[in-house]
Structure 1
């Protein structure tokens, strides 16, 4: 039989797992153990040398199992499988999306450094950048998708921040407005300020598109971050995060994870492996449902505006980015209901099938009010600038029958 390149969705069932090492079990067992037994003291020494970076792995040498804070079969196999979608060298899985985000920022930023970040970002990320990092002497400077990269470069130079810029952090599509950012432009900014003395790392939060619909590493990113709670987990039953990217940077991320101790446990790793097997099926159905839901909302008299990537006008800058970077419009959309908070709350309180809850990417459809929930801590100035208003409602489209989702929205809008 000839060798064949299998697609990632096929490899999600078996890649990295050897049944013969686990009594022939067709699925990887849950290795609910804190530590692992060495065959000899010499083997333990060799494992630690590699784990602590005292030497590089020899050809064909595997990183031996030491302790579940360092590595665990459930985590290791999961990380290998996640790399397949994004084409990453390495992956590190964390206990939450925020632990992944905060670990990356703490590793690559130091007091006096500057972080350039896209607006809007997830509310928790915004809080960390604007409330936590300043306590460590790290300054965040935001930019929108209407700003030209050359303009941003000149602005940073005029502020005398050439040497301080250490990271460009981008969330695209942005939560909750679906604003798109050109990753090649972000890379251009990072490259301009990179020198022999320092790298400027490009980090992309790809949670809205999941590993399926956008691959930032192919557009200049150095690291990709996911809240694995969302599409990767996909069932609203776990909390996790993931960072993927080039070995040069991942070695640093994994090392800090080891000493912060914020890796995901074996049970979470096992659940995520289960979820990866249906990732493409789930996300494909969700994206198909979103097309029909967005069309319904666009034509409803009580809806002022719909923020959906499938409705971008051809010939616009946003549409050009969409065609270049994305494979699908995805299943996240937001809309402005006519009115304000009162009308938005009436809609949300009237839903019967769709769940009023934060989070996204799960099998069930979810709805929330960003201005008072996920993005409540974003400054009033930034909310006004990026369109997080009292009339904005965010929808994560699930796998239910689209007729039922639309019926629920229709009856809820009638109450408004």
Structure 2
């Protein structure tokens, strides 16, 4: 029994938590405290030495609790559990997905550096890359999944930009089109310009797949980021983010988080631990529902095109990436309604069960209009190039009975 390998979904109930330290409580309590008492001055000194990177933690030494900006039992246990899904050395939880993303970029990028990023990305990420980072002298260069690694490498060399490259940032599947990017190819790009003095980081936003359906760290990525608000939280009742990776990169992420002070609080950590217990059950049901919805939309006379990973044509490059990188087609899909913004808005305004709201990955099904909502700040040129048109509608499929979701979509389409 002691030697058995338990699956992550089994360990979500208990990993990292010792009931004996909390009066025998079967669930981890909420440690709603700002600071922690040291047993001695020597102990406090030792804890700070490790926390501030003045020395490495000893082989059998446990990181002591100091102050909730540095560590808190709810966050530590949560972070240990999240590592189990992705196979990460360490995890750091943040107060939002954008907080996690911006912290990673600010830590690994400096004025004069170049960030190579996949297109499309979430609208908030696009804004940070193209509107905020340039104010710090950092330039973002976008690439699409139609470009090969060889083409991108050649373009960077021709323009003399290779030595300025510091990060390859990839969102796959991409929001909102489900475009897939080959992480092997992204690793090749980073390695082509990496050397002892220039360690180019590959960072993957895995929000669309959650910890269950894709494991970027096992596919060549150095860091993976999540909006933990989505599947990890999964109940539309919290905001959080997470970064996972190897210790050498996570040490830097954790240090900046400490001094930016943008870690999540204990209440959020407790809620996320609760959500992890049902993560696989929820995501499995959502994926099954999404397949039924996508099949319904595929032949509907008022639907022009469906963007769903389960419908990728065998033999294509996108299908090959899907088979190599993903364990599921997921629960996110988009479709082009016949017509334009008028028809899209009419559809959205007639939904009865599905909620018209942004965000994704929650228990309830959600619908939104990317061109005027989540991706409204993306340039008109990029929208056109990436297919984020006014007829595009994004659906996040929840855990309701699939026949009810389909009924709602059907009756809304009838009004268009």
User: Deviation of residue 299 (structure 1)?
Assistant: 1.1
Q: Return the alpha-carbon distance in structure 1 between the equivalents of residues 367 and 65 of structure 2.
A: 42
User: Is 1:55 the equivalent of 2:55?
Assistant: yes
Aligned to 1:166: 166
SS state at 1:244 partner: strand
Aligned to 1:114: 114
Q: Return the alpha-carbon distance in structure 2 between the equivalents of residues 336 and 74 of structure 1.
A: 43
Aligned to 1:36: 36
Aligned to 1:331: 331
User: Deviation of residue 2 (structure 1)?
Assistant: 5.2
Aligned to 1:343: 343
Aligned to 1:16: 16
* 1:5-404 to 2 correspondences below 5 Å: 5-404=5-404
User: Deviation of residue 234 (structure 1)?
Assistant: 0.1
Give a deviation string over 1:231-256, Cα, whole Å, max 9, x none. 00000000000000000100000000
User: Deviation of residue 79 (structure 1)?
Assistant: 0.1
Q: Return the alpha-carbon distance in structure 1 between the equivalents of residues 154 and 358 of structure 2.
A: 38
SS state at 2:243 partner: strand
Q: Return the alpha-carbon distance in structure 2 between the equivalents of residues 317 and 19 of structure 1.
A: 49
Q: Return the alpha-carbon distance in structure 1 between the equivalents of residues 16 and 318 of structure 2.
A: 39
Q: Return the alpha-carbon distance in structure 1 between the equivalents of residues 60 and 234 of structure 2.
A: 35
User: Deviation of residue 59 (structure 1)?
Assistant: 1.0
Give a deviation string over 1:58-109, Cα, whole Å, max 9, x none. 1110110000000000000000000000000000000000000000000000
User: Deviation of residue 212 (structure 1)?
Assistant: 0.1
SS state at 1:334 partner: strand
Give a deviation string over 1:135-193, Cα, whole Å, max 9, x none. 00000000000001000001001111111000000000000000000000000000010
User: Deviation of residue 367 (structure 1)?
Assistant: 0.1
Q: Return the alpha-carbon distance in structure 2 between the equivalents of residues 181 and 3 of structure 1.
A: 38
User: Is 1:411 the equivalent of 2:406?
Assistant: no
**TM-score normalised over the length of structure 1:** 1.00
Q: Return the alpha-carbon distance in structure 2 between the equivalents of residues 172 and 43 of structure 1.
A: 44
SS state at 2:407 partner: helix
Q: Return the alpha-carbon distance in structure 2 between the equivalents of residues 34 and 194 of structure 1.
A: 41
Mark the runs of 5 or more structure 2 residues left unpaired by the alignment: none
User: Deviation of residue 197 (structure 1)?
Assistant: 1.0
Calculate the aligned-residue CA RMSD, in Å. Answer: 0.4
User: Deviation of residue 3 (structure 1)?
Assistant: 1.5
Mark the runs of 5 or more structure 1 residues left unpaired by the alignment: none
User: Deviation of residue 19 (structure 1)?
Assistant: 0.1
Give a deviation string over 1:205-233, Cα, whole Å, max 9, x none. 00000000000011100000000000000
SS state at 1:371 partner: helix
SS state at 2:9 partner: helix
Give a deviation string over 1:289-310, Cα, whole Å, max 9, x none. 0000000000100000000000
User: Deviation of residue 196 (structure 1)?
Assistant: 1.4
SS state at 2:238 partner: coil
